[in-house]
Amino acid sequence: MKTETKLLIADDWDDYALLDSGHLKKLERFGSQTVIRPDPQAFWEPARPVDTWKADAAFLSKNDDEDGGGNWETLSPRAAEDWPMRWNGLTFTARRTAFRHMGVFQEHSVHWRFAQEQIRAAKRPVKVLNLFGYTGMMSLACAAAGAEVTHLDASPKSNGYGKDNQALSGLSDRTIRWIADDAMKFVAREIRRENRYDAIVLDPPKFGRGPKNETWRFEQDLPELLDNIKELLVEKPLFVIATAYAVRLSYLALSQTLGDRLASFGGIMEQGEMALPQQGSSRLLPTALYARWRTS
C-alpha cells in the first residue's frame, strides 16, 4: 500500500470564511451570519485585536473541552437562529447549537469533493455507508454524485435536519436511508445481513452516546469498529475516509490503524491534517486529523 501525506485545505467555499483567529478564538462568517467561537489551537496573535471583532453572536464556553457546553450571546439585532447556506450546488441550514457547532463541519468539504469525484469516476452503481453522519452533508454530496447512501447517526434530531437538507438541496428523489442507531450495533447487524458497501465514511467523536445510552469512546472502540468496517466492504471498494477530533492521536496512528485493516486491498492511503484558510492571510487553522484510503 502506497502512503501519501497531505495537508487538506478547505478553500472551496463561497458561503464560509475564517475572517480572523488568535487568542484561542476564531471569527467566522457562515453565510449571512458572523460568529465568534472558542478554538483551543489558535494560540497565535490575531490579525486584529479580539475586542474589535464584529459579530452577530459569540459562544461563551463553560470549560476548555472542545465539545463542552456553553451558551450563545447575541451581539447584533440581525442575529438569526438558523439560516440557509450553500456549497457546490447543495443547500443546507446552518444553526447555532448548544455545543458551539453550526450544523456543518465546513472543513469536511475536502472529503465531500473527493467522494464525489470517486463516485463519478467509478461509472457504476455505488453504495456508501456514512457513519456518525451528523446533519448529512457527506450523504448529500454522495447522493448528488449518484450514490445510494446509508446515513447513520445516533441523534434523531441530526437525522431530521439531514432530511430537511436533502429536500432543500432538491435531492428528495435520491436514495438516502436516514438511520438513528448505535454505530457498533448497526455495523455488526449489517455484517450478519451480508450487506456490503463500495465506500465507507466515519467521523467518530471523542465520546458519544447511542440512542439507547450506548457509550462510544474513541481510543477504546475505534479498533473494533475498523475491524468490522473491513467486513462491510465489497471485493473491490472505492474509498474509506476516517477523521478524528480532540483526541490524543497522531494522523500516523489513525492512518496505520486503518491501513492494517485495508492492506489486502492495496491502493493508496492518504494521511495528514485538515485545515481552514484565514481570509487575507497565509495562516491556516488546523481542525482535524484524517486517514483516507482509495483504490488508485
Looking at residue 248, its pLDDT comes to 82
Distance (Å, whole) CA 115 – CA 243: 14
Q: Give residue 101's identity as a one-letter amino acid code.
A: H
Give the Cβ contact number of residue 168 at 10 Å. 17
List of residues 6+ apart from 73 with CB closer than 8 A: 57, 58, 59, 60
Distance (Å, whole) CA 107 – CA 137: 11
Share of the chain above pLDDT 90, in %: 88
Angstrom CA distances, 50 to 19, 37, 154, stand at 12, 11, 36
Q: What pTM value is reported for the model? A: 0.95
Distance (Å, whole) CA 181 – CA 113: 26
CA 276 from centroid of its chain's CA atoms: 13
Looking at residue 122, its pLDDT comes to 98
Looking at residue 66, its pLDDT comes to 57
Q: Among 97-111, 126-140, 215-229, which stretch is predicted with the lowest mean pLDDT? A: 215-229
Distance (Å, whole) CA 240 – CA 269: 9
Q: Give residue 213's identity as a one-letter amino acid code.
A: N
Pair type for strands 148-153 and 176-180: parallel
CB-based contact 175:139 (threshold 8 Å): no
CB-based contact 108:203 (threshold 8 Å): yes
Band of pLDDT at residue 213, cut at 50, 70 and 90:
confident
Distance (Å, whole) CA 47 – CA 220: 40
Band of pLDDT at residue 64, cut at 50, 70 and 90:
low
- How high is the mean pLDDT of the chain? 95
Q: Which three cell numbers stand for residue 208?
A: 458519544
What are residue 209's DSSP bridge partners?
Answer: 215
Q: For residue 62, with 0-12 CB atoms within 10 Å meaning exposed, 13-18 middle and 19 or more buried, which class applies? A: exposed
Distance (Å, whole) CA 262 – CA 240: 9
